[in-house]
Chains A and B, each alone.
Chain A
């Protein structure tokens, strides 16, 4: 069984070789012999373009006995050598002739191959003549001499004339691809284009053609699969005609008169159709969240700056502003920065262009007593442009509008009044209360806006005597910040207590981070607190000394996942920072 298969395979291969030999031989006879032994001249009355003539000069199965083979394989200077003029048989051709004779010299096969070659030559000549008349390049897309064609005007120096397009008529039924790309002005000639019934791909991009021309062009071309119309005047009016093309797969509509809504309608009507319209880059990089930005300030370096982490631990300054003193800063929803440049001056600046958009001077505005000692250590922008400001000295929390007009004022309860430290940070909670870190008192107190004290917490000293200084050696309860968490607990940065506490409404500590819990990090004056979207905490670590991170991000499991340390741009008094996640 296997032997039979092998034999079959050999026979099949033999057949292929014979067909190739016949083709090669027909080509060789055409190129080398027929000029003298053909229809024009038949020297020695021999015609090698005919099977009979060919048979007369070969002995089937006996190449070496065949006159044809003998003559063409002689040395070129032999008197019997053929052809007597022009180039002789090449070795591939000689081999083909040899095999053809030895395998039976099927002259009819050669005649058939020759006829096919003549057909191919005629087909090629037709392409050349039509190409010349139509002023384009016509490319066959297959080996079949009567096969599919591509007509490409895209590189022509000027658009084709009506006559040139009309000249495509003899080949119209074979054209499957037509490109007029870039031929502005072709519209005037399009009416002369013959109907292209087999057209599958149509390139009209950069031609500026309009609806009427397009409709006329595609009316007889029901086979269209691809139509490129970018940078044309085509409008939504053309869509109904295009939708009639049952085989359409791809439509390029960038830079046309078709509106986005209409594009959506096509997509809904024909979800399978690939429609390409305008594609844009995001206006800004990182539109879906990008590298971390950080707003940070250090009065000892006289600087507040907005930075972007271009590479890990590498920062680019996006904006900066000089300051004298600072204890609070915010990024507003519109991207502006609300900060203070001194203990009394609050500014709102657009960091994109540095423009000052709002300012408030606590030393002069809404002051009953001239020269009254006042410092601001906390502020916050509320809804409708209202700003909350906590005044140490007067010990009150006020709200002012954009014009600086006093809208509301609430006295705070302080046991040890101090114009410098009645408060550190104050935040309006989601419930609308004021949550205040009273630094001098060492208490966190929560007030209703009407003034009543509703919750308070005495920051513990943990049975240690207070110690002076600002660094890790200091000790006290000079609380800097308090945040109300979603569950009702309060997160507290204890300042020179070197800790973060989470206490429940009953005042019990439910979680805490102490001074030396983070590997390689020593907490000093713990200032700001921020809860990130992923639940991690960002804490400010001020006065900790060079070599220590100034801002630290930890998980609730107390793994340090990120930190910031910059003792060039900032110094040992980086009191305030805010991580910007978007």
Chain B
């Protein structure tokens, strides 16, 4: 039988073979000619410099027709409370102040019960679908017919640091590439003059662990997120020093490129080096492309008003949302915007006064996000742009302390939503229990969310892999995860 024949006559193990052939670009170009099945099941190399083999003409490498070209991930850092936003629990109001036995797990550890904090906002129906939305989001309420709500999300950790890595990189430990890196690794950047992965932070600062949340992990550095600022210089350290004109800079880069290529000749397959050369060149091109992308003066007065740029409360987040649309138009694959940063009430982490905290953060984001959805839609962009909203976890139905309305973290059940990019609108899937405490029906792990995003981008979530440390690493883990088919149009 053929199968019994030793396929490694030269004495190499399969693993060695993969190390040797899987690491070079040549074998990938070949693989590009072999068709999608092969790609779906193989790790592939990426040196961060050469054209992405998945986009080679003869390969047509997308694993299926993509529904979305870009992702805008609106990260509500700190963890918004589901029962106060989109997960309507009408019976919870009357239970306000009552002590109840319900297991919870937050930063205070595991508890057996506590004092119920009733929802602090009234809910009212919106749209054709009649979705109940809390009074925190009167503008977003007008968009529910384009939104799919995922009410039964759960994550692996109720602690910010590990949970945010879970949401961004698929694991609760650091060192793994983030979602935006996977998307750019799988599809390549469309715009050669802008980074394919952009991150915009809150004015109060970055989230816990900082750049680990947009790292490319073990992938080449060219896949990491680039921080873009909406005021002042868009990208720090991009402008050349004084006295260095374009000619001098070009000559310097050309010389550096020659030296680096000589250096690289002796170190074939060194992706870090190749990525660095590519980054120098990208930075050079971005010097003109980035200021143009962030130039809001090109936007009409009506657009600026719609995003809330004229109101102090919404101006900062509004600028980021408007910039996100401009980046989508310029082919940027993955854009992440943080609402909330720093510590305590600078983000959605409402341990103390829930009303003050959520009023503040919803007030700053409601109109800009609704404007983003409407604006994408009126330009025909929502069809191909996947918008994702959510935090690293949700919050408990019970109070954290003896006094007050503060809620502790809750990774056992929380709400996220998706819109556009081939997602069905006006639907709600999954359920938490009657307290909104724990996902109980059609539960969706963070991995399922990631799988859905990859799927909509035209990638096979269980096929997209990167060979590292002897494993075909995947965003959704080697066990795999199914996309959330209930929300896919």
Contact = CB atoms under 8 A, between A and B. Distances in A.
B378 A140 contact: no
B379 A281 contact: no
Given A90-B21, A252-B380, A127 B121 contact: no
Interface stretch (A51-59, A69-77, A458-466, A518-526): A69-77
A431 interface: no
Interface stretch (B9-17, B239-247, B275-283, B476-484): B9-17
Contacts of B65: 141
Given A123-B58, A139-B55, A182-B329, A279 B121 contact: no
B60 A140 contact: yes
Nearest to B331: A155
Interface in A292-342: 309-314
A310 B359 contact: yes
A355 B377 CA distance: 39
A27 B26 CA distance: 13
A143 interface: yes
A141 B142 CA distance: 36
B378 A230 contact: yes
A266 B5 CA distance: 69
A228 B138 contact: no
A291 B21 contact: no
A174 interface: no
Contact of B139 (A277, A282, A291, A310): A282
Most buried by B among A139, A254, A278, A281: A281
Nearest to A99: B2
A509 interface: no
B173 interface: no
A365 interface: no
Contacts of B138: 285-286, 290
Interface stretch (B153-161, B221-229, B367-375, B385-393): B367-375
Contact of B57 (A140, A154, A285): A140
Contacts of B263: none
B89 interface: no
A194 interface: no
Interface stretch (B29-37, B209-217, B435-443): B29-37
Interface string B108-133: 00000000001111101000000000
Interface string B378-404: 111000000000000000000000000
Nearest to B26: A87
B5 A285 contact: no
A289 interface: yes
A76 B10 contact: yes
Interface residues on A, range: 35 or more
A120 interface: yes
A91 interface: yes
Nearest to A81: B10
Range for the number of chain B residues in contact with chain A? 35 or more
B191 interface: yes
Contact of A289 (B11, B124, B374): B124
Contacts of B331: 154-155
B267 to A, nearest CB: 19
B235 interface: no
Contacts of A250: 380
A230 B377 CA distance: 11
Max chain A Cβ within 10 angstroms of own Cβ: one of B65, B93, B191, B375: B375
Interface string B176-205: 000000000000001110000000000000
Interface string B15-50: 001000100001100100111100000000000000
A230 to B, nearest CB: 5
B313 interface: no
B7 interface: yes
B120 A312 contact: yes
A349 interface: no
A286 B377 CA distance: 21
Given A75-B10, A280-B374, A290-B135, A120 B33 contact: yes
A102 B2 contact: yes
Contact of B191 (A155, A206, A291): A155
A121 B139 CA distance: 53
A435 B271 CA distance: 88
B429 to A, nearest CB: 25
A511 to B, nearest CB: 26
Given A289-B124, A312-B121, A98 B329 contact: no
B7 A24 contact: no
A142 B26 contact: no
A95 interface: yes
Given A254-B379, A276-B380, A279-B377, A181 B329 contact: yes
Of the candidates B8, B9, B121, B358, the one having the most CB atoms from chain A within 10 angstroms of its own CB is: B9
Nearest to A226: B380
B57 A127 contact: yes
B370 A254 contact: no
B395 to A, nearest CB: 15
A206 B93 CA distance: 49
Q: Name which of B10, B118, B359 has the most chain A CB atoms within 10 A of its CB.
A: B10
A142 B139 contact: no
Given A75-B10, A154-B331, A281 B55 contact: no
Interface string A206-234: 10000000000000000000001011000
B139 A155 contact: no
Given A276-B378, A281-B374, A98 B139 contact: no
Contacts of B330: 155
B399 to A, nearest CB: 15
Contacts of A230: 378-380
Contact of A143 (B14, B60, B119, B359): B60
Interface centre among B5, B35, B65, B375 (most CB of A within 10 A): B5
A117 B374 CA distance: 47
Interface string A444-476: 000000000000000000000000000000000
B355 interface: yes
Given A121-B58, A127-B57, A140-B60, A91 B380 contact: no
B208 interface: no
Contacts of A314: 120, 355, 359
B30 A27 contact: yes
Contact of A124 (B36, B58, B139, B359): B58
Nearest to B359: A310
B21 A141 contact: no
Contacts of B2: 95, 98-99, 102
Contacts of B56: 124
A312 B139 CA distance: 19
Nearest to A292: B122
Find the residue from B7, B93, B138, B330 having the highest chain A CB count within 10 A. Answer: B138
Contacts of A142: 60
Nearest to B367: A281
B306 interface: yes
B306 A311 contact: no
A31 interface: yes
Contacts of B27: 90
A281 B137 CA distance: 12
A142 B377 CA distance: 28
A252 B370 CA distance: 19
Given A91-B8, A95-B7, A143 B378 contact: no
Given A31-B30, A252-B380, 6 more contacts: A91-B17, A145-B58, A206-B329, A281-B371, A310-B135, A314-B359
21 contacts: A23-B34, A73-B9, A75-B9, A75-B11, A91-B14, A94-B7, A139-B55, A155-B191, A155-B192, A230-B378, A280-B374, A281-B142, A281-B371, A281-B374, A285-B138, A286-B138, A290-B124, A291-B135, A311-B135, A311-B355, A311-B359
Interface of A: 23-24, 27, 31, 63, 73-76, 87, 90-91, 94-95, 98-99, 102, 117, 120-121, 123-124, 127-128, 138-143, 145, 154-155, 181-182, 205-206, 228, 230-231, 250, 252, 254-255, 276-282, 285-286, 289-291, 309-314
4 closest A-B pairs (Cβ-Cβ)?
A285-B138, A252-B380, A254-B378, A124-B58
